Amino acid sequence: MRTGEQQSQTSTTLGWYDLSLQNHLSKVVADPPIDLTTVNFEFKRPEAVRERLGRTFSYFYTAEGEVSLNVRQVETLISDVDEYTAQFLTSWDAQEGQHSVLFGRVLETLELPLPKINRNKNMSAFRIGGVLSKNIPEMRDIFMLNYLSRGAMHERYTAGGYTIIGNIMTEMHEEEFVRTAIKPVFKQESRHLGYYRPAAKKYAANLSPWQVQAAEEFTAEYFRPVAASSKQRLVEIGRMQRDFADYGVDEVADHVQDIADDIFSEGSPEGTPRILRATKALLRLVKNEDAPRSPKYVRDVLEYCVELSELEDAV
């Protein structure tokens, strides 16, 4: 990591980190991982919970558990992350990791198997990006904005998921679990969102319009729901979307899209440098999965997941 002084010589975005952002960061940093002795894992009707929410808990167990992989990807992609980002990543990693442990305990209580957590994904695309970001500061800024905006979008999506789980479990009279587990987890997700969203907005405000536009294009190209790292995961997310159809899950998708639209509102497609066009072509080459995208990519991608899951379940 660079010192502040060294960074001021190279970064084009010095000053993006202001006092209010520091305030959001300190709230995240001050918050320890959830103490599992405070969680009540005793369900009134475990069979009913297993039936209704078993696969949802499996998804959140893996999604939360893969944040540490995500942290490594960010550190590989963005050379020399600044000290604030490094602080955030450390606290974020610990809190999300503990969410996974919590849902692991839930799965054990419900006598469900623990799915495999993927912590060793191929990093070659991120290494290529890392070389670019090390040598081209403008690219580093684009990747940084892409990381922050995806962070905000993913936190909104998970916070929405936990709200829905809380509502379903309250209906099922599992209030103790909602109070001691779902609400504390939701609170941490809200703090993460409270940091990521203004961070992305402020970062974008320091960039050229073409960089903001480029970050939006990357986000549209690569947007996936949290931890959707394989076709099987897309199917699982599609099933979850269907499970939650009556609980406002489409509105959550709209909110996620709104966040992206807000962050990228200052972008402009004019004058995109050749290096960026070449990079995009390169990244498309290393990308191995083909999902649809459009200006409203969040909804499209989630609908794609639903279609995949319906196809799978029809077999």
Residues that bind Fe ion (CB under 5 A): 64, 96, 99, 155, 189, 192
Nearer to Fe ion, 154 or 239 (CB): 154
Contact 97, 67 (CB under 8 A): yes
Distance of CA 233 to the CA centre of its chain: 15
Nearer to Fe ion, 192 or 224 (CB): 192
What is the DSSP secondary-structure string of 233-256? Answer: HHHHHHHHHHHTGGGTHHHHHHHH
Question: Closest separation between CB of residue 193 and Fe ion, Å?
Answer: 7
Nearer to Fe ion, 28 or 234 (CB): 28
Whole-angstrom Cα distance, residue 210 to residue 212?
5
Question: Closest separation between CB of residue 29 and Fe ion, Å?
Answer: 14
Contacts 24+ apart (CB under 8 A), 150-154: 150/219, 150/222, 150/223, 151/192, 151/196, 151/199, 151/200, 152/193, 152/196, 152/197, 152/199, 152/200, 152/259, 152/263, 153/219, 153/223, 153/256, 153/259, 153/260, 153/298, 154/225, 154/226
Question: Closest separation between CB of residue 100 and Fe ion, Å?
Answer: 8
Nearer to Fe ion, 159 or 253 (CB): 159
Nearer to Fe ion, 106 or 132 (CB): 106
Nearer to Fe ion, 132 or 182 (CB): 182
Burial of 9 (0-12, 13-18, 19+ CB in 10 A): exposed
Question: Closest separation between CB of residue 273 and Fe ion, Å?
Answer: 34
Nearer to Fe ion, 129 or 161 (CB): 161
Residue 10 has, within 13 A of its CA and on its CB side, a CA count of 16
**Which residues have C-beta within 8 Å of that of residue 49, sequence separation ≥ 6?**
43, 110, 169, 172, 174
Whole-angstrom Cα distance, residue 110 to residue 10?
53
Question: Closest separation between CB of residue 31 and Fe ion, Å?
Answer: 11
Question: Closest separation between CB of residue 158 and Fe ion, Å?
Answer: 6
Q: What is the CA radius of gyration of the chain?
A: 20
Question: Closest separation between CB of residue 99 and Fe ion, Å?
Answer: 4
Could you give phi then psi for residue 230, rounded to 5 degrees? -150, 170
Kindly give the residue spans of alpha helices, DSSP state H, lying in 207-296: 209-222, 231-243, 249-263, 274-286
Contact 112, 50 (CB under 8 A): yes
- The tokens for 266 are 């200052």
Nearer to Fe ion, 140 or 156 (CB): 156
Question: Closest separation between CB of residue 155 and Fe ion, Å?
Answer: 5
Nearer to Fe ion, 140 or 192 (CB): 192
Question: Closest separation between CB of residue 62 and Fe ion, Å?
Answer: 12
